[in-house]
Amino acid sequence: MRVRLKMNAVSLATITLLCTFLIVTLTMTLTTYRDMNHTIMKLITNDYDLSFNDNSKSQIERQQTIEHIKRDIQGSVNAKDFKVYETTLFRASLEKNRAYYKLKQASDDIPIDFIGNEGSIFSKQSVMITALTVQDYNRYHQNKLHLDNQSIGMITNVPIFKKQSKVGLNNEVFKVKQLDAHALNLMMIQDSMVLIVKDNNQLQKVKGFYAHEQKKSTISINFNVSGKTKLTTSQIQKLSKKYDASINSKSEMLMVWDRLTGGLIFVGGVVSIVLVIGIFLMMYYKQVSEAYANQHNYDIMKKLGLDNGRISKITRNQMTFLFAIPITVALIHTLISSNIVYTLLNMLGINNHHIFLTCYVLAVIIISFLYMAMYKITSYIYAKVIHQQRN
């Protein structure tokens, strides 16, 4: 058996690598397929999102601008469910304390890196943050959020932040109230989070500390449309030009997302097929070469007085053990590296851990079944070659 392992070490290692790549590729492909629409639907809950920089000199002037925008939208399409809120978008760097993460002012030389499951994949880390007031949040949610001077709300898909009970903000420490669902169009892909602060004064403090270069506030107006009516391209361009606003629609985002994930699924499927073919060819040629090489061993065991049934059983057990090594080692490799694979999916915005685990188990079952089937086929070829040589 030791001789067999030494002779086949390179081939077994190659099959192990191919099996590992196949499990990872198929897991990521299945997860992307199952979660492709859920991710974007969770992020974009309204049909349209209109955002503009507020140039108003007073609250009355701001409200008038908002009403004018609503009127123009309703004049173009049957709009409903208007949601108006003020946000501040900024980037902060992370500093790990013993019990919590501290959000520091980001410098220009710190890149925007994705935050891994344990926060240790990249040495330099930063996070994109959207901040809004609890008044704006509660206005459009049935489950009201109550905050005091030392607490904030947090919405995020980044695993390390979902575990936090405290966070450092504005050189202060705040208790974190984790929130899951939201009814606003808040983009939270990769290293993003949404912070909900107590009032407008605290929002302005956050803005002054982290985004002092932003002189204007950003007003977002989310709305839905009745039936199948949509804003036309010309209507969107007209509204954008009139109010110097950016308008995003759920349908367009879904189309872009479907193209991206569809391409990834296609590539993943093709790569998986290529890997399956590669594994089969490796096993086939290895079984054939072993069959020709073992003819001499058969003759030796025959001369020692072993019957054909005993010889076949010994050889079959050795070959089964030999080809069980690659798939077993591949399963161990993928199990240990599952967090890294999940982090890669998070970079695409796919962050449903339950779907990932079920897809991983499904991929392991499918690949194990295929591997056993390929082994059965190649073992039959092995036995056939041995039989021909003996005759």
- 280 has a pLDDT exceeding 50: yes
Give the whole-angstrom CA distance, residue 343 versus residue 121. Answer: 9
pLDDT score of 82: 94
Give the whole-angstrom CA distance, residue 380 versus residue 377. Answer: 5
Across the range 238-259, mean pLDDT stands at: 89
Question: Which phi and psi (to 5°) does residue 30 adopt?
Answer: -65, -40
pLDDT score of 153: 93
pLDDT score of 138: 93
Specify the amino acid at residue 51: S
The upper half-sphere exposure of residue 91, i.e. CA atoms within 13 Å in the direction of its Cβ, equals 13
Tell me if 49 sits within 8 A of 79, measured CB to CB. no
Q: Please write the tens of the pLDDT for every residue from 91-143.
A: 888 887 777 888 888 765 444 444 444 443 333 467 888 999 999 999 999 88
Across the range 14-36, mean pLDDT stands at: 93
* Least confident span in 52-66, 136-150, 363-377: 52-66
Task: Kindly state the tokens that stand for 228.
Answer: 């199948």
Task: Kindly state the tokens that stand for 198.
Answer: 């107590």
Give the whole-angstrom CA distance, residue 254 versus residue 213. Answer: 33
CA dihedral sign of residues 40, 42, 47, 50: negative
pLDDT score of 6: 62
Counting residues of the chain whose pLDDT is more than 70, the rounded percentage is 85
Averaged pLDDT score across all residues of the chain: 83
Q: Please write the tens of the pLDDT for every residue from 293-303.
A: 766 666 666 66
Across the range 315-326, mean pLDDT stands at: 80
- 57 has a pLDDT exceeding 80: no
pLDDT score of 118: 43
Tell me if 235 sits within 8 A of 74, measured CB to CB. no
Higher pLDDT, 307 or 355: 355
Tell me if 93 sits within 8 A of 74, measured CB to CB. no
Q: Please write the tens of the pLDDT for every residue from 335-353.
A: 999 988 988 887 777 878 8
Largest CA distance in the chain: 104
pLDDT score of 49: 92
> In terms of DSSP bridges, do strands 245-249 and 79-96 run parallel, antiparallel, or are they unpaired?
unpaired
- 38 has a pLDDT exceeding 70: yes
pLDDT score of 261: 87
- 41 has a pLDDT exceeding 60: yes
- 8 has a pLDDT exceeding 70: no
CA dihedral sign of residues 168, 171, 174, 177: negative
pLDDT score of 237: 92
